[in-house]
Amino acid sequence: MTNNPTTTIRLGILGTGSKDLRSGIIGLGNMGSLHARSVLEGKVPRMRLTAVCDINPERMVYDPEIKTFTDSRALIRSGEVDAVLIATPHYSHTDIGIDALENGLHTLIEKPISVHKADCERLIAAYAKTNGVVFAAMFNQRTDPFHQKIRALLQGGELGEIRRVSWTITNWFRSEFYYASGGWRATWAGEGGGVLLNQCPHNLDLFQWFFGMPRQVRAFCSFGRYHDIEVEDDVTAYMKFENGATAVFITSTGEAPGTNRLEIAAERGRLVYENDELRFTRNEIEMSEFSRTTKQSFATPPVWEVQIPLGKDHGEQHIGILGNFTAAILDGTRLIAPATEGIHSVELANAFLYSSLTNTTVNMPLDGKVYEQELRKLIASSRAKKSAPTVSTATDDFAKSFR
């Protein structure tokens, strides 16, 4: 989420019905302004934008009906909104989120919900004290029909027991100019990490949504391998699950053209998702059963080649999450992406980093307080020349995120 000072939006009221959800957006950088446009253009039924907040007043060219604030605390206490969408830099998600929840506002947070597991736990603890508040995360990739089909196949048992997973996501190429475009980018104090905290939270969320959490993690992260940055821009992580299945997760912002390929090897065959194609090579007989019963030395199970027809549609994405958030508040609809599940993608990212920094295998679940201490050390020893921007939060200070 980039704070781009040239981004300006013309705000206006849409919808006047009593059943409209009065919403506010905190942070009008790239993502915040995108969400604002979606609401203002009527793409999110029954959601009405009534307030916005940003530390840069130039981003808020507004109509009088929409209230503007430069301090999140003032918006949250204004009485102008029933719900807020938090689209500020990462560290501030925790404090602003807690403030919104403690003041009874329905809350939707951009990814990641926090930078580290301990802050996720603080955020979730604040939510646990609420009553009737809807708390969601902007994991828009869960609306993608391809991802929904993969999960349905896994949960429905169509693939049988998982043996191995390999996911390579190296189509996140970023230039040096990109990293120089914001003072908070690619620093431990400003962003809390690199590709794992900025580009990959969606992939890590999908990973745990598909497969659950691993039992052990061993990762190799390269810090500033391809760019003049202090955080990770290249990662290879190995995981082991309770049933003995293994997984490899590879990502980078330094490869071009890069690839995005998910391969799942299971008892009933192999599922591959790549280039908008979902292909299932299905064993007619489960591999273990075939191995036990065949009388041939080099035989393999006969297979069916299945191409699952899904077209090129990638779902409603951000608008789908906004609409689902609105429906959850007004109608009691089940959330697609509960924010309480956002801790898992953060924990995976933290575990990868901690494993690499300490050169150890990490047993899961990760001790959030131990990782928080490690992150404090990284911030204290940072030599980054860029300074993190001031963000109006409940503490108004990044460092105080580590209470």
pLDDT (mean) for 35-60: 94
Whether 6 shows a pLDDT value over 70: the answer reads no
The CA distance from 328 to 319, in Å, is 14
Distance set, CA 332 to CA 108, 133, 266, 324, 329 (Å): 15, 11, 37, 10, 6
* pLDDT, mean of residues 186-200: 95
Burial of 391 (0-12, 13-18, 19+ CB in 10 A): buried
The pLDDT confidence band at residue 133, using thresholds 50, 70 and 90, is: very high
Predicted confidence (pLDDT) per residue in 340-383, tens digit: 999 999 999 999 999 999 999 999 999 999 999 999 999 999 98
Residue pLDDT, tens place only, 239-248:
999 999 999 9
List the beta bridge partners of residue 235.
Answer: 221, 251
Q: How is residue 233 written in tokens?
A: 């821009």
For residues 397 and 298, the model is more confident at 298
Q: What is the mean pLDDT of residues 70-83?
A: 98
Predicted confidence (pLDDT) at residue 387 exceeds the cutoff of 60: no
Fold of 142-308: Dihydrodipicolinate Reductase; domain 2 (3.30.360)
Place of tokens 């169509």: 158
pLDDT of 73 higher than 90: yes
Domain ranges of the chain: 9-139+317-337, 142-308
Indicate the pLDDT class of residue 311, thresholds 50, 70 and 90. Answer: confident
Q: What mean pLDDT is predicted for residues 248-275?
A: 98
Record the tokens describing residue 381, joined without a space: 């020893």
Tokens read off for 105: 């506002």
Give per-residue pLDDT as tens, 138-160.
999 999 999 999 999 999 999 99
Residues 88-101 as b/e (b if ≥16 CB within 10 A, e otherwise) read bbbbbbbbbbbbbb
Round to whole Å and give the CA distance between 359 and 377: 16
pLDDT of residue 394: 32
What pLDDT score was predicted for residue 312?
86
Q: How far apart are CA 44 and CA 179, in angstroms?
A: 32
Please tell me the class of the 9-139+317-337 domain.
alpha beta
Q: Average pLDDT over the chain, rounded to whole?
A: 90
Question: Does the pLDDT value for residue 222 go beyond 90?
Answer: yes
Q: How many CA atoms lie within 13 A of 93 on its CB side?
A: 35
Q: Looking at residues 193-199, what average pLDDT do you find?
A: 96
Q: Is the pTM of this model over 0.75?
A: yes
Among the listed ranges 15-19, 127-131, 224-228, 280-284, which one has the minimum average pLDDT value? 15-19
Residue 64: predicted pLDDT:
80
